[in-house]
Structure 1
Amino acid sequence: MTCAAFITMNPGYAGRTELPDNLKALFRPIAMMVPNYALIAEVILYSEGFESSKTLARKMTQMYKLCSEQLSQQDHYDFGMRAVKSVLVMAGSLKRSNPHLSEDVVLIRALRDSNLPKFLTDDAVLFGGILSDLFPGVTIPEHDYGVLHSTILDSLVKRNLQPLPSMTKKVIQLYETMLVRHGVMLVGPTGGGKTTVYTILADTLETLYNSEIKKATPSTSQ
């Protein structure tokens, strides 16, 4: 009496298949409706402390709609509810850490930082165009990563690698993606730098951790 079984069945979704008829007959079907992304985004933005949530939510859902229609079809692209939720969580943390920034800039930064790392080069240009169309006249100040950026450069030099801006950018993008997503995968061609990116990030975080330990440990002299 206290136990119930539910089966989520969505045959059009990636990785899902139809239930066999003999099993389907044992369960009562329940119809599900497509979620209202704009309303969900609006409520979450309000809960994260945004004031112009209605406008921002509408622009955000429109952006994801345009991306799904205009960008190339890739297996790792995701414009569903999971992607929307991760952007909203990132926007909330950015707003709390940068209360002086306008809400437009905060949301654009969240959209850019959570989506750009997974786009191909050509799609990244299209994505920038969509953002500028939805948020005309809004300029985003460059974020200063300070000690993280300098430590990445040191880690590259220690491994006898050229500290190219594209490589440091990818390391920072991987770090920011790992802050908001539970599962992260690096995809790309052989020799594209996947192994280098995650090893440099590991070196950087280890160096920063050790330096914090040294700062926290008082030195004693006899």
Structure 2
Amino acid sequence: MAKTTILLLLLLLLLSSILVVADQAATTATQLSPAAEKSIGDLNLEVEKVIDVVVSAAPPAKQMETMHAALKHLQPIKSALAKAKESGDEKKIAKLVFRVEIAAAIINAAPADKKLMMMEDSFNSVAAPSPLDCPTVDKAYCETDSKIQKAFDGVVAAAPVEKRLEVRATILKKTMYTAGSTINKAYADGDEKKIAQVLAAYSKAADEVIAAAPADKLTIMEKTFIAAAATGN
């Protein structure tokens, strides 16, 4: 118990230093309203709670390893916070806080042995554009997202009526989840070339599914989306 408490105290010290650095990197560039500063403070507290939950959920022997992994997964949040602050756009800050709150809720609801994985996926998603902001954001992202959704709808519609719910659930759990995770990770890593490669691969895969005959759509989606996911490795 004492060992866990010391570990969590160390974690909070490390986390605080990371978030302070992100704040200081942008402070000199802009002056935000008290409300925006409070939102950023709330975001920092939310992230601290998430780290605490993720580390506490790990077996005692794995908590130090989990802490190091969790701290690495903070990079997308740190980068997004610095950019939002530097821009001085308080609407961007509010959106970031909202997306982190959603990510935190997903992580908190995940089983103990899945929390670290969900933290990585959920925090990576913060680095990527939000589909809700399309088509006014990243054009390539929005076009790819639209094609993926159209391909998904086509596969479900092509399934026999009695199988549609099952097909929908299977695709969402595997194919669509992997697609979102792969795209989000590319954005979180920040490599523009890799982002372009991943988006192009999924766009091409979706086009093949859309063009396929109804009876072939599911098979082609499974094949082409697996190949697209490999571009993210």
Structure with the greater relative contact order (CA < 8 A, sep ≥ 6): 1 or 2?
2
| TM score, norm. by length of structure 1 | 0.42
Larger Rg over CA atoms: 1
| TM score, norm. by length of structure 2 | 0.41
The structure where helix makes up a greater share of residues is 2
